[in-house]
């Protein structure tokens, strides 16, 4: 397993409902990074289709692994790069059960997926109308270290990142499609999740305008200390390469020993309180 991993935050805008174009774009970007020894390229939430596709989601969703993940696997194999991206996933068993999913593929093929647990359905968001929530956190033990996946609104719920961390994640990857009015929340919460879990956190947000929603970008890599190690531009496409050095976790874990100090008995109380809100 590598101690030092080079990642690329691929902050793109998407062609809505056009998987072919978006896959082409992903391929071009991953190929471009190949010369810069990038190990992992991260694309935003629903980057295969765009975020605001509404009823077209039923035509666009695919099983995983399926045609689009095969296409991304090929890119990963050709470039010997790991890739994380987002797509609507349809259940193999039913035809209209769709998940908002993050997919991880590597040079040797498909590695795994994470289905978004918290689906915003308020304000401009309609996710529960279309998606079924996921029920499992996801951490993958890879040659690039232990990678945890979360998606956008999950970051408002510390338990998702916490479980991911407790299952071993050294780098939590949060892919996102966050519109501009939510910028402040994410800037704070991304740092908070990294600090409280003493873990690296890579946040990759969409840009562009979809049906009046402007996504703000601002993708970033945050160190376990909360320091922003790299940051992409606001509001426009940008690609940032940065290095994750897992050896930096230990010193901060001793300095801010949140995991050592965990109090599991409080979780029972938390559960009870949440059930009787």
Q: Does 253 bind another protein (CB under 8 A)?
A: no
Which one of 28, 211, 243, 269 is in contact with another protein (CB under 8 A)? 211
* By the rule CB under 8 A, 122 interacts with another protein: no
Tell me if 16 contacts another protein by CB under 8 A: yes
Q: Which of residues 187-206 bind another protein (CB under 8 A)?
A: none
Residue 59 engages another protein in binding (rule: CB under 8 A): no
What is the 3-state secondary structure of the chain?
CCCEEEEEEEECCCCCCCHHHHHHHHHHHHHHHHCCCCCEEECCCCCCCCCCCHHHHHHHCECCCCHHHHHHHHHHHHHCCEEEEEEEEECCCCCCCEEEEEEEEECCEEEEEEECCCCCCCCCCCHHHHECCCCCCEEEEECCEEEEEEEHHHHHCHHHHHHHHHCCCCEEEEEECCEHHHHHHHHHHHHHHHHHHCCEEEEEECEEEECCEEEEECCEEECCCCCEEEECCECCCEEEEEEEEHHHHHHHHHHCCCCCCCCCHHHHHHHHHHHCC
Is position 20 an interface residue for another protein (rule: CB under 8 A)?
yes
Task: Report if residue 54 touches another protein, rule: CB under 8 A.
Answer: yes
Interaction residues for another protein, span 226-245 (CB under 8 A):
235
In the bound state with another protein, the residue whose beta carbon lies nearer, of 28 and 59, is 59
- Nearest residue (CB) to another protein, 110 versus 125: 125
Which residues of the chain form contacts with another protein (CB under 8 A)? 15-18, 20-21, 52-56, 126, 129, 180, 208-212, 214, 235
């Amino acid at each position: 397993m590598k101690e030092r991993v080079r990642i690329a935050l691929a902050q793109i805008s998407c062609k809505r409902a056009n998987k072919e174009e978006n896959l082409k774009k992903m391929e071009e970007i991953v190929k471009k990074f190949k010369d810069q020894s990038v190990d992992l390229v991260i694309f935003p939430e629903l980057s295969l289709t765009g975020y605001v596709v509404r009823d077209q989601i039923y035509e666009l969703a695919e099983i995983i692994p399926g045609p689009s993940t095969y296409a991304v696997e090929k890119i990963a194999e050709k470039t010997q790069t790991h890739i994380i991206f987002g797509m609507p996933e349809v259940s193999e068993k039913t035809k209209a059960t769709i998940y908002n999913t993050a997919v991880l593929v590597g040079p040797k093929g498909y590695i795994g997926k994470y289905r978004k647990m918290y689906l915003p359905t308020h304000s401009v968001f309609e996710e529960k109308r279309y998606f079924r929530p996921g029920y499992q956190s996801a951490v993958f033990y890879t040659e690039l270290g232990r990678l945890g996946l979360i998606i956008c609104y999950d970051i408002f719920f510390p338990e998702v990142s916490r479980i991911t961390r407790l299952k071993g994640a050294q780098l939590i990857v949060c892919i996102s499609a966050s519109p501009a009015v939510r910028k402040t929340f994410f800037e704070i919460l991304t740092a908070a999740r990294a600090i409280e879990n003493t873990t690296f956190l890579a946040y990759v947000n969409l840009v562009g305008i979809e049906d009046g929603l402007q996504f703000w970008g601002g993708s970033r890599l945050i160190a376990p200390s909360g320091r922003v190690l790299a940051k992409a531009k606001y509001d426009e496409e940008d690609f940032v390469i940065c290095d994750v050095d897992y050896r930096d976790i230990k010193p901060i874990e001793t300095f801010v020993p949140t995991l050592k100090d965990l109090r599991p008995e409080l979780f029972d109380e938390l559960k009870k309180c949440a059930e009787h809100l």
